[in-house]
Amino acid sequence: MSFADVRARRQAKDARSLVGSSSSSGPKLISIEPPEPLFGALPSSIDIQSSPERGRGIYAKEPLKRGGTVFSIKPPIYVLSTKNLEHFCSSCISPAPPTGLKRCTQCKNLWYCNATCQNNDWALHKKECAAMQRWAAGAPSLDVAIPAEPIRCLGRVLWGKRKWGLDSVWTREMDAMQSHRTSLPPEAAESHTHLAHAVIRYLGLTAPEELVPFGINDAAGIVDLISRFATNSITLTSPSLAPLGVSVSPLVALVNHSCDPNAVVVFPRSAKDPASQEPEAQLIAIRDISPGEEIFTSYIDTTLPRAHRQEALSATYNFSCGCGFCSRPPAPDPREALACPKTCGGACPFPSEEDPLTRCVNCKTAVASTDAVLDALRIGQEALQKATHLQFSDLPKAQQLTTNMIPILTSAKALPSSHPLLALTRLRQSLLLAAFPSNLTQDALDGLIRASSASVTGLNAVFPPGHPTRALALAELGKLLAVDEPEPRPAAPGSSVFPPSGPARLRLACETLIRARDELLISFGEHNDGGEVGREVREMVVRVERELAAWGQGVRNVIEDGAGLKT
């Protein structure tokens, strides 16, 4: 039976169900109650409107202050990535406690904090558990023994539609998410086809008509399903923005993109909410938002230059960004700029092959060796791609690439915020941090602090105060400065060596952590106390202040003892 046959039969059946007994006045239609409205979780301070350029979006009806929570919601669908399954609870996404997680005894793939978490997840895992066992049974003929997170996520979407009903609010909200089926680029067709086949195999289906109970009546229906997932899914993250998996939330999907957003989606783990409400996605305002203003988040990494951002948006979301930041970029954009050759404090836009001439926007001094700059940028991009590819398979090689490339870009006068220098700096910091536990020396710690400081400098030029990426970078720098020094080095009076040592280092740690705390309160919500990271930083500030006080008291005791000896 084809999809067309199934659709025809279903349409005929639906028509019969609406028509009563015949009479002289024609068929009698059965009255149908209007369906329950969608997006009931949206707060009264927010309105859904539509614009010709962006379609549906959410708009503020009341003033929203930065650091305030626009809305909070537990995504109806979320799954952990395969590498995180045994390290986090698949229900509340908490990391494994000291006592360990409890494994599902049937599929042996998912882990839970306790029986409560397992019961909370059972409504969907019941079907998933059997599907995973079927998949594992066919593992010798498959690439992996556990299906990838998009397959598992889409499986949960379909099981959810069947469980809660095709006419339920749950299903209608899922189906209301935007699909780009009619405008998919050719390169997306193959990946969508592979994913569709994988999902059908995961569900254990063999014929097209078996998809009808899931609300898919023809081939276009499954393309819509895949397209909605690709366009609207968001990364499930830890409170420190580490990617943990993937999630789908129709409410979050209403928020449109801007490369200069006024809000962010985070998973801060509020101390006030029980684990049963986690993971909780929160939309946090990082700027004051006026009534009537649209609320935006960024779908991509906005440390990238405009051309890279547009390419990423087109490839993943099938649109080009027309936000003010793209149509009227700053002059010069800190992501694509060099320091003034005369160090006047100004900056020069990157040269290009088409327009190699570039001057400082302040003093108008021309950059002399633009060919050398273009070569450094090209080689830097290649090194970034290689190091990113090698970071998990060959850590020393990836470190070598970043360590060798950063000075070349720096000597070409690339700003710390420019691409690919900032990306290389952040990657080098993460590589040094990965190697640090086995290399606990003063030189290693100081090198890691310098890399962290360079990252903060670059991010501060790109993001506004309160952006979570910037706030977390500050917190990381403060934590590193607060680490006990393996071999403290006394600095000469008036020395400007960075990082400082001893009490000066502790004072800088305290100042940095306080700055981080202030920004975390914005990016992860004031009512959350800055989220899990904000609470950790607050406790660390208290500890560092105690250490400074103890050091000061120790100095006073030595002075007093010396004075006593003289008398």
Structure confidence by residue, pLDDT tens digits, 53-85: 888 999 999 999 999 999 999 999 999 999 999
pLDDT digits (tens, 9 = 90+) for 459-517: 999 999 999 999 999 999 999 999 999 888 776 666 678 999 989 999 999 999 999 99
pLDDT for the residue numbered 436 = 81
Give alpha helix (H) positions in 463-530: 468-481, 502-523
Question: Looking at the structure, do residues 509 and 429 belong to the same domain, yes or no?
Answer: no
Inside any domain, residue 23: no
pLDDT for the residue numbered 31 = 38
Inside any domain, residue 219: yes
Inside any domain, residue 250: no
Question: Looking at the structure, do residues 202 and 345 belong to the same domain, yes or no?
Answer: no
Question: Looking at the structure, do residues 429 and 529 belong to the same domain, yes or no?
Answer: no
d(CA 129, CA 103): 12
Question: Looking at the structure, do residues 409 and 466 belong to the same domain, yes or no?
Answer: no
Environment class of residue 240 by beta-carbon count within 10 Å: exposed (0-12), middle (13-18) or buried (19+)? Answer: middle
pLDDT for the residue numbered 207 = 80
Question: Looking at the structure, do residues 464 and 399 belong to the same domain, yes or no?
Answer: no
Inside any domain, residue 118: yes
Question: Looking at the structure, do residues 395 and 504 belong to the same domain, yes or no?
Answer: no
Per-residue pLDDT band at 139 (split at 50, 70, 90): low
Count of CB atoms situated within 10 Å of the CB of 309: 24
pLDDT digits (tens, 9 = 90+) for 335-350: 999 999 999 999 999 9
Q: Is the pLDDT of residue 95 over 80?
A: yes
Asked if 195 and 154 count as a contact pair (C-beta separation under 8 A), the reply is yes
Secondary structure (3-state) at 359: strand
- Residues forming a β-bridge with 51: 55
Question: Looking at the structure, do residues 235 and 86 belong to the same domain, yes or no?
Answer: yes
Question: Looking at the structure, do residues 364 and 424 belong to the same domain, yes or no?
Answer: yes
Q: For residue 346, give its domain range.
A: 330-439
Which residue, 475, 536, 478, 473, is CA-closest to 507?
Answer: 478
Tally of structural domains, the chain: 3
pLDDT for the residue numbered 554 = 54
Question: Looking at the structure, do residues 460 and 549 belong to the same domain, yes or no?
Answer: yes
Question: Looking at the structure, do residues 347 and 375 belong to the same domain, yes or no?
Answer: yes
**565 or 302, which is more confident?**
302
Inside any domain, residue 249: no
Per-residue pLDDT band at 273 (split at 50, 70, 90): low
Among 243, 263, 289, the domain boundary falls at 243
Per-residue pLDDT band at 220 (split at 50, 70, 90): confident
Inside any domain, residue 517: yes
Mean pLDDT on 196-206: 92
Among 208, 243, 278, the domain boundary falls at 243
Question: Looking at the structure, do residues 449 and 357 belong to the same domain, yes or no?
Answer: no
Asked if 302 and 309 count as a contact pair (C-beta separation under 8 A), the reply is yes
**359 or 141, which is more confident?**
359
Inside any domain, residue 299: no
Question: Looking at the structure, do residues 84 and 165 belong to the same domain, yes or no?
Answer: yes
Among 243, 267, 282, the domain boundary falls at 243
> Whole-prediction pTM value?
0.88
pLDDT for the residue numbered 509 = 97
Inside any domain, residue 64: no
Pairing label, strands 111-112, 102-103: antiparallel
